[in-house]
A and B are shown apart, each in its own frame.
Chain A
Amino acid sequence: MSAVVLGIETSCDETGIGLVRIDEAGTATLLANEVASSVDEHARFGGVVPEVASRAHLQAMVPAVRRAMRTAGVRPRDVDAVAVTAGPGLTGALLVGVAAAKAYATAWDVPLYGVNHLAAHVAVDTLQHGPLPPALALLVSGGHSSLLDVPDLAGPVTPLGATIDDAAGEAFDKVARLLGLPFPGGPHIDRVAREGDGAAIAFPRGLTGPRDAPFDFSFSGLKTAVARHVEALERAGAPVPVADVAASFQEAVVDVLTAKAVRAARERGMDTLLLGGGVAANSRLRELAQERCDAAGLRLRVPRPGLCTDNGAMVAALGAHLLVNGAEPSPLELPADSGLPVTDVLVG
């Protein structure tokens, strides 16, 4: 006995359609993971334009579902549930996915699960590394930077901290622009930083003082410090050492992220740290997280980059776990909620 779940993700600029099979023991297998990205259309604006993303979702939706079904060799009558990101995210973008999910679930007469995007980022790891023990999750992307206590995939999640200003990925984008690197900035900073010295410039570590919130993040001050540094050099007519600036900025970000994540895991008595979100594809973040987890005796789990960025497989994976746990499906009146709290794994 097994079940197949279709997952739909449209919270930002990726139209993600995933198909996942789950067996009675709760082992989830990836069948298809189709992503149609509108990232190139946003590049010249230096950030995601909500209306551009929403338009792209409408165009991409049905073709992406068809491609996923074909890739997986799944027929409509094989699908046992439809899961969709109900929030958080861009309202107009979320609505395209939510409306499509309702139509597919209703036409196929299967349950609908409106799920939390952040919880889906956690659930996706089960597709690569198997069932997840209670874990501390660090989710970092262009849209979020959160520390979550996840005792169980289908159960409630406890948020421990989040960014108070820019998301980590946003800081990467802004610094990349400052350095004349293309959007999205993450991969470019990562690449350029490999040629630089991460200790070359002592950029500030936000919210690391003794009286600061232990598990919140702030990257706005760091971004400003990088800008000041670059401007000072330019004013003096000195060349900007792009690789050193990129490496030092990146080091400041991943230092804070990993230090807080490891500390949170120890305080909560967790022995597993999980990374997720687009920034989890950053090579220095993975490296430093591994170092610090080894030192702290923690197990580190990081999904491969294609599963870290926004995708439909993560939504299907969470939906599949909810289905085998006998969760009550969402009503057909399911709304999209741009500010859906992370405590709401499933929208009832």
Chain B
Amino acid sequence: MVSPGCDPKGLPAAPPEGARTLVGVLVLALDTATPAVTAGVVELTTAPSDPPTVRATRIAHDARKHAELLMPGVLAACAEAGVALTDLDAIVTGTGPGPFTGLRVGMVTAAALGDALDVPVHGVCSLDAIAVEAVEAPVTGNLLVLIDARRREVYWAAYDDQARRFDGPHVETPAALAARLPELGVGATAGGAAEVHAGLLGRPVLSPAAPSPAALVAVAADVLRSGAAPEPLQPLYLRRPDAVEPGARKRVSTG
């Protein structure tokens, strides 16, 4: 069996013998809101009861190299899935919250690919994708998802046991967040910062640490199946840019 590889402009090779015809959509899922540089090819059928099927995933871990690793990861995932970029029907990207520089890499990659391939790009909250996978484990009470926001803060959101977000996303110190746990009814935590602050939060830690391609597509499944036009992509920064307006002029002369 010959893999058609991932020649972006090449004609889609004939499907391997015995391969079934797609009856849904082929989605490229990206997320760079955490140190994980995530790319995956996911198939979504039209039947609402079917979970997304992962065809290939590439995850690299380097919080400083999102831009270097993402497109190679996309191509490797396409190659493994045996699809060309031009076979994709849609793109789903995490919109954060997450450290800004890395977050933008995934979002601009998704936006530019969508434009170049003429396919829709759907944004989903990255924390929602973590939640949707975390609630596969039995949870008593609500779920808190938290990831690193640098500057000794975390991005967080709270979910019920069906992964429906009821608070957040916010950015806050872990101590301030810990004080909210009773009012949020948190029974378990998930996300990259959950393990780090497990002692402070005192709740069981569930996987995953970062959004997976299947979970990103699961969050966008309804809108993907409906064929509705995507909302404009909006990054969830949750913080204003660091900048101070200059005050009074400083004197250079002494005396």
Quote the shortest CB–CB distance from B202 to chain A (angstroms). 35
Q: Are B253 and A333 in contact (CB-based, < 8 A)?
A: no
Quote the shortest CB–CB distance from A9 to chain B (angstroms). 14
Given known A-B contacts A49-B243, A108-B116, A224-B252, A332 and B104 have beta carbons under 8 A apart: no
Q: Are A100 and B69 in contact (CB-based, < 8 A)?
A: no
For residue A177, CB closer than 8 A to chain B, the reply is: yes
Quote the shortest CB–CB distance from A93 to chain B (angstroms). 10
Q: Are B71 and A58 in contact (CB-based, < 8 A)?
A: no
Q: Are A95 and B243 in contact (CB-based, < 8 A)?
A: no
Q: Are B252 and A228 in contact (CB-based, < 8 A)?
A: yes
Interface residues of A in 98-113 (CB under 8 A from B): 98-100, 102-104, 106-109
For residue B235, CB closer than 8 A to chain A, the reply is: yes
Q: Are A107 and B8 in contact (CB-based, < 8 A)?
A: yes
Quote the shortest CB–CB distance from A148 to chain B (angstroms). 27
For residue A164, CB closer than 8 A to chain B, the reply is: no
For residue B108, CB closer than 8 A to chain A, the reply is: yes
A336 to B72, CA, bound (A): 15
For residue B139, CB closer than 8 A to chain A, the reply is: no
For residue A211, CB closer than 8 A to chain B, the reply is: no
Q: Are A231 and B251 in contact (CB-based, < 8 A)?
A: yes
Q: Are B75 and A332 in contact (CB-based, < 8 A)?
A: yes
| B219-247 interface bits toward A, Cβ cutoff 8 Å, 1 = contact, 0 = none | 00000000000000001010001111110
Q: Are A231 and B69 in contact (CB-based, < 8 A)?
A: no
A28 to B196, CA, bound (A): 55
Interface size on B, residues (CB 8 A): 43
Q: Are B67 and A62 in contact (CB-based, < 8 A)?
A: no
Given known A-B contacts A65-B115, A332-B75, A100 and B246 have beta carbons under 8 A apart: no
For residue A199, CB closer than 8 A to chain B, the reply is: no
Note all chain B residues with C-beta closer than 8 A to A228: 252-253
Q: Are A107 and B7 in contact (CB-based, < 8 A)?
A: no
For residue A54, CB closer than 8 A to chain B, the reply is: yes
Q: Are A106 and B108 in contact (CB-based, < 8 A)?
A: no
Interface size on A, residues (CB 8 A): 42
Note all chain A residues with C-beta closer than 8 A to B112: 61-62, 65, 99-100, 103-104, 107
Given known A-B contacts A92-B100, A99-B105, A333-B69, A45 and B244 have beta carbons under 8 A apart: yes
Q: Which one of A44, A55, A102 has the greatest number of beta carbons of chain B within 10 Å? A: A102
Q: Are B67 and A98 in contact (CB-based, < 8 A)?
A: yes
A88 to B108, CA, bound (A): 20
Chain B's closest residue to A103 (CB) is B112
Q: Which of B75, B237, B251 makes the CB contact (< 8 A) with A55?
A: B237
Quote the shortest CB–CB distance from A173 to chain B (angstroms). 11
Q: Are A106 and B8 in contact (CB-based, < 8 A)?
A: yes
Q: Which of B9, B65, B237, B252 makes the CB contact (< 8 A) with A108?
A: B9
A51 to B245, CA, bound (A): 14
Note all chain B residues with C-beta closer than 8 A to A104: 112, 115-116
Note all chain B residues with C-beta closer than 8 A to A55: 100, 104, 235, 237, 241
Note all chain A residues with C-beta closer than 8 A to B113: 103, 106-107
Note all chain B residues with C-beta closer than 8 A to A106: 8, 71, 74-75, 85, 113
Q: Are A76 and B116 in contact (CB-based, < 8 A)?
A: yes
Q: Are B67 and A336 in contact (CB-based, < 8 A)?
A: yes
Quote the shortest CB–CB distance from A225 to chain B (angstroms). 9
| A174-208 interface bits toward B, Cβ cutoff 8 Å, 1 = contact, 0 = none | 00011000000000000000000000000000000
For residue A266, CB closer than 8 A to chain B, the reply is: no
Q: Are A178 and B253 in contact (CB-based, < 8 A)?
A: no
Note all chain A residues with C-beta closer than 8 A to B107: 58
Interface residues of B in 189-229 (CB under 8 A from A): none
For residue A286, CB closer than 8 A to chain B, the reply is: no
Q: Which of B100, B108, B241 makes the CB contact (< 8 A) with A103?
A: B108
- With contacts A98-B67, A109-B8 known, what are 8 further pairs, Cβ within 8 A? A51-B243, A57-B108, A62-B111, A76-B116, A95-B66, A95-B104, A95-B105, A103-B109
Question: Could you give 7 example pairs across A and B, Cβ below 8 Å?
Answer: A44-B245, A54-B100, A62-B115, A65-B112, A108-B9, A109-B7, A177-B246
Binding site for B on A (CB under 8 A): 44-46, 49, 51-52, 54-55, 57-58, 61-62, 65-66, 76, 91-92, 95-96, 98-100, 102-104, 106-109, 177-178, 224, 227-228, 231-232, 235, 332-336
Binding site for A on B (CB under 8 A): 7-10, 65-72, 74-75, 85-86, 100-101, 104-105, 107-117, 235, 237, 241-246, 249, 251-253
